[in-house]
Structure 1
């Protein structure tokens, strides 16, 4: 699937012998073993007191496989998905409907400058960075934007544009955005939620290479 905009390119399966150029960004132990990006998804069973009630440990989604586009690892310059696909080289990624797209939102604003923020420190890409959602139906109910290592507010005009598509916006840092997407895509389905993430190592004017 390709919508013709240069900032969005489909992600292809990466060969197994290729590896990302930077090690994964360290992440704190996840509250659950399923669907949380980090260095590895390891069970934390035995590290916490056993609940007195069996209902406290009931996980109705325990047998539900995570989506193929769930994020397994957040790297300095990209991501590794549950499908085995790797996005690297400083590219971001859009996840929706079981598909992943390399994402370069700075191209929509000024590709040469590698900038995403306005003078007020707000995330202020051109609307074209999210133009692919105009051609989608159904559209996701929620778009989770991961703004790198730090949370950056979305500029009012950009938020208004995304809202005009009938999509709600949640903005968090990239690591937590990936975790939130994994959980919501598993619980609600991949057509209900989308994610737009830039790498943890992104720096204004430099990128994440």
Structure 2
């Protein structure tokens, strides 16, 4: 047989008073100050600045200081204009992979798109295949074919935005025994600066297209 609860033993809970107090105080806002008390004088505090093991390491001379519309400025003071750049073994090289084999940069008479009478107007190159993938001819990697020892990692900057790299280009670089990382040129330059400082320019190389690159009109 079920027993009925004794009303005198039941506790009543009401939130009315609490809600009224909260409404008078207004909404809870952010703290007015971030001060958590006096500065600690303990000698066991962590100095995060001292944990930066690369803080006093000089950047390599081939580090990218700035990405310009049509070139780059390097830490050494060298400025590259009208060209991409390949950074290998601590040296910088002009790099124009958009010029196909059998095609020359310059006027129409040389196989390019510049006007013969008015001078050069465009190299008229392309870096995309018919599928929209980033692809260049194998001879564009001639420097990596010749250099020894080869870098462990190649950071590829594909221009103003990141593009998928074609399987043929990936395979060629992989056959050289080099790993490939792909990013837009700004991020690729930052990644190269960090990794080249950390691991050395013999281990990390970069191939960068200017951020102002446009298909067929650069």
State the TM-score, normalized to the length of structure 1: 0.71
Q: Could you tell which deviates more after superposition, 175-184 or 110-119?
A: 110-119
Counterpart mapping for 1:1-209 below 5 A: 53-55=46-48, 58-89=51-82, 91-108=83-100, 112=112, 113-207=124-218
Q: What is the CA–CA distance in structure 1 between the aligned matches of 2:69 and 2:48, rounded to whole Å?
A: 39
Q: What is the CA–CA distance in structure 1 between the aligned matches of 2:47 and 2:143, rounded to whole Å?
A: 45
Is the alpha carbon distance of 1:163 and 1:97 closer, same or farther for their aligned partners in structure 2, counting shifts above 3 Å? same
Cα displacement (A) at 1:139: 0.3
Output one character per residue of 1:75-104: Cα deviation in whole Å (capped at 9) or x when no partner. 001000000000012x00000111000000
Cα displacement (A) at 1:55: 3.6
Q: What is the CA–CA distance in structure 1 between the aligned matches of 2:204 and 2:100, rounded to whole Å?
A: 23
SS of structure 2 residue aligned to 1:100 = strand
Structure 2: gaps (5+ residues)? 1-44, 105-111, 113-123
Higher relative contact order by CA 8 Å / sep ≥ 6: 1 or 2? 1
Q: What is the CA–CA distance in structure 2 between the aligned matches of 1:53 and 1:120, rounded to whole Å?
A: 53
CA root-mean-square deviation:
1.4
SS of structure 2 residue aligned to 1:102 = strand
Q: What is the CA–CA distance in structure 2 between the aligned matches of 1:64 and 1:108, rounded to whole Å?
A: 40
Q: What is the CA–CA distance in structure 1 between the aligned matches of 2:100 and 2:143, rounded to whole Å?
A: 12
Structure 1: gaps (5+ residues)? 1-51
Output one character per residue of 1:132-169: Cα deviation in whole Å (capped at 9) or x when no partner. 11111110000000011110111101100110000001
Match of 2:41? Answer: none
SS of structure 2 residue aligned to 1:106 = coil
Q: Could you tell which deviates more after superposition, 138-147 or 103-112?
A: 103-112
State the TM-score, normalized to the length of structure 2: 0.68
Q: What is the CA–CA distance in structure 1 between the aligned matches of 2:148 and 2:164, rounded to whole Å?
A: 27
Pairs aligned (count): 155
